[in-house]
Amino acid sequence: MPAIGGEEVGVGRIARGSRFGFIGVTATQSSINQVFPAWAAELGLGDVRLDPVDLKLDTPPERYREVVRDIAGDSRHHGALVTTHKVRLLQAAADLFDELDPLANLTGEVSCISKRNGLLRGHAKDPITAGRSLAAFVPAGRFAGEAEVLCIGAGGSGLAISLYLATRPDAADRPRRITMVNRGVERLHECRAVHQRQEQPVPRPEFVYVANADPRVNDTLMGELPPGSLVINATGLGKDRPGSPITAEGCFPERGLVWELNYRGELDFLHQARAQETVRQLTIEDGWRYFVHGWSAVIDEAFDLNLDDSAIERLSAVATAMRS
């Protein structure tokens, strides 16, 4: 039996026929459908079935409530990971939760649903996931100089990344400016409100909010970044929807960091970055690491495992081997 956080996890803790959910736009197509059974075996979880739920972007509130009620009402359902629908699900079903963690209250979203002692609980895990993922590929001291951040897409993941960057443990290594771009201005207002509610770190980055749907404008914003800056595609373009938030003429910052949050799909943004990788001396990261950290954090919470670093590394190795 594998050791998790120094303790053995027995399959007797998990009832036969148990379920664990995944709520997304194309959840049934995700790599997690192949990875989860191997992870369950690695963690000694026994007979747990992954239950992916595909919901369209225009899903009505009652459908969200139906999904949450299904989780709450089934004693063998352990919870779910929520992607894409994190904000809308909580807006539609907030009254169905018994507890929300501080980050869920701060951000107004739920990325993890768990159950404990008969209570339905909602968590916002993305700021934690963002921190673990960024720490793995952003060099220490990167933001101690002039490097900035351009986050194209201000949904749940984009907001979570900005919250982490604004409060990085090393105050001297926080970006001086974070530009958030989103198609709709209403979401930018919501992000601004969250940033203002967040505990004010010192020094605090300057936040710039840009309502824009034109890739050529994003090209201009990217071209104005100082060398070494971080550019993020948090739009879902290239996975849930075709395309890229920049054009083929967009120029990444010299010695820049490029983070494509998607790990499957057409990945146009990722290919655009790779075309400039050598000439612009780019460090490029796709969404695979974010995927692994995101899932391990939610599984840890839902099954009350207390995963340590070595267990997470084992899960990463299992998933990466299957991806290869």
Tell me: the pLDDT tens digits for 195-223? 999 987 778 899 999 999 999 999 999 99
Average pLDDT of the residues in 86-112? 96
Q: Between 72 and 156, name the one with better pLDDT.
A: 72
Residue 324 pLDDT class (50, 70, 90 cuts): low
Q: Which of 4-8, 25-29, 98-102, 133-137 has the highest mean pLDDT?
A: 98-102
Relative orientation angle of helices 86-93 and 61-73, to the nearest 10 degrees: 80
pLDDT number for residue 11 = 39
Tell me: the pLDDT tens digits for 117-131? 999 999 999 999 999
Tell me: the pLDDT tens digits for 14-51? 767 899 999 999 999 988 999 999 999 999 998 899 99
Q: Between 5 and 67, name the one with better pLDDT.
A: 67
**pLDDT, mean over the chain:** 92
Check if the beta carbon of residue 225 is closer than 8 Å to that of residue 148: yes
Q: Give the rounded percent of residues in the chain with a pLDDT score beyond 70.
A: 95
Tell me: the pLDDT tens digits for 110-120? 999 999 999 99
Relative orientation angle of helices 309-323 and 288-302, to the nearest 10 degrees: 130
Tell me: the pLDDT tens digits for 298-312? 999 999 999 998 999
pLDDT number for residue 15 = 66
Q: Residues, the chain, total?
A: 324
Check if the beta carbon of residue 59 is closer than 8 Å to that of residue 89: no
pLDDT number for residue 4 = 35
pLDDT number for residue 3 = 35
Q: Give the rounded percent of residues in the chain with a pLDDT score beyond 90.
A: 84
* Parallel/antiparallel/unpaired status of strands 18-24 and 257-260: unpaired
pLDDT-wise least confident of 14-23, 25-34, 141-150, 281-290: 14-23
Beta strands in the chain (DSSP E): 3-4, 7-8, 18-24, 48-54, 77-82, 99-100, 112-116, 119-123, 149-152, 177-182, 206-211, 230-233, 257-260, 283-285
CA distance 119 to 104: 16
